[in-house]
Amino acid sequence: MIEMKKSQGSVEFVIIASFLLSVFLAMIYIVNTKTEESKYESIAASMEKIANTLLDEIRTAKSLDDGYKREIFIPTKIEDKDYEIRLIANRELVVKEGKQEYVAFVPQGVVGSVGRGKNKIEKKDGIVYLQGIDVIINDRFYFNRAHDGKRMAVLKSDGQIIVTGTLTENSNYSPKSDDEFLIYDNSKTKVILAINLESGNIYIRGTLYPYEHEISASENDVIRFNDEYGSTAIKIDNSGNLYLKIDIVQNGVPN
């Protein structure tokens, strides 16, 4: 009888312990799920806030007279995470972190590009121009074709550019399609760098200067792409000269 009671007690203990363990694991799962949902919602809210802040800047510029000019800073991280912000085809403002994405539509009459870090917004001849000044590349800055998402070019934080097409120097490039990345000179009258995202070709108004191991800032600069430590890896000056710490790979695979 004593042995049977001991055996029964052991079984009951195992049952109770298993039940408590199941409850404990279920609670951990619920807490982790709620934490992940909270992080997801927090990142989504931050993405929306960044996009709406930039849209407010655009609306302000559109409402004011020609000559309006202002520097704006776009956060370099969301919740301590790297993310992408891109103006696509001068129509869609996309903020993306991992698999999360927030898309907003910009008003007509807005051209240019944006990036994490210091940017400039100005209005000339009724057009609002967006342009990075000191843009952060933590690793890679990708350019994808709009209609199918194919990757056509990448700027890398080590100072290398890879394009699926070819490079043309000393180019008097004129905008040809909605699907291109354009950088204008300071007067906003000339395109000094263009990446056509249909063909993957890159055009610069000036000359390519590869393997510039120390790229210093200058008043003549239009845009600098910096690594996460603030060192300039790629820059374009007002004449359309392109300075790289490494070089351009043509007919390559942007990865």
State the pTM of this model.
Answer: 0.78
Nearest CA-CA partner of 168 in 105, 68, 232, 250: 250
Higher-confidence residue of 178 and 130: namely 130
Residues 144 and 125 in one domain: no
Q: Is the pLDDT of residue 32 over 80?
A: no
Element (DSSP H or E) covering residue 136 = strand 127-136
Q: Sign of torsion, CA 234 235 236 242?
A: negative
Residues 205 and 105 in one domain: no
Instruction: Report helix, strand or coil for 62.
Output: helix
pLDDT grade for 33, boundaries at 50, 70 and 90: low
Q: What is the pLDDT of residue 3?
A: 53
Q: Is the pLDDT of residue 210 over 60?
A: yes
Domain extent for 111: 1-131
List, for residues 82-141, the tens digit of each pLDDT value. Answer: 898 989 888 899 999 988 999 999 999 999 989 999 999 999 999 999 999 999 998 888
Instruction: Report helix, strand or coil for 245.
Output: coil
Instruction: Report helix, strand or coil for 81.
Output: strand
Residues 148 and 177 in one domain: yes
Residues 122 and 164 in one domain: no
Q: What is the pLDDT of residue 144?
A: 87
Chosen domain end from 83, 103, 131: 131
Q: Is the pLDDT of residue 168 over 80?
A: yes
Instruction: Report helix, strand or coil for 17.
Output: helix
Q: Is the pLDDT of residue 12 over 90?
A: no
Please state which of the ranges 2-16, 147-161, 200-214, 223-237 shows the lowest mean pLDDT: 2-16
Q: What is the pLDDT of residue 8?
A: 61
Chosen domain end from 131, 160, 194: 131
Residues 10 and 106 in one domain: yes
| Distance, CA of 138 to CA of 43 (rounded, Å) | 19
Give me the torsion for CA of 190, 186, 254, 230, rounded to 10°: 170
Residues 223 and 120 in one domain: no
Residues 1 and 127 in one domain: yes
Give me the mean pLDDT over the 55-69 stretch. Answer: 96
Chosen domain end from 97, 131, 165: 131
pLDDT grade for 14, boundaries at 50, 70 and 90: confident
Residues 112 and 4 in one domain: yes
Residues 250 and 169 in one domain: yes
pLDDT grade for 6, boundaries at 50, 70 and 90: low
Higher-confidence residue of 91 and 203: namely 203
Residues 179 and 253 in one domain: yes
Residues 96 and 178 in one domain: no
Q: Is the pLDDT of residue 152 over 80?
A: yes
| Distance, CA of 145 to CA of 149 (rounded, Å) | 5
What percent of the chain stands above pLDDT 90?
67
Give me the mean pLDDT over the 1-15 stretch. Answer: 62
Could you tell me if 101 and 119 are in contact, meaning their C-beta atoms sit under 8 angstroms apart? no
Q: What is the pLDDT of residue 23?
A: 74
DSSP 177-236: -SSEEEEE-TTSSSEEEEEETTT--EEESS-EE---SS----TTEEEEEE-TTS-EEEEE
Residues 41 and 79 in one domain: yes
- Rounded mean pLDDT of the chain? 89
Indicate the number of domains in the chain. 2
| Distance, CA of 201 to CA of 52 (rounded, Å) | 32
What percent of the chain stands above pLDDT 70?
92
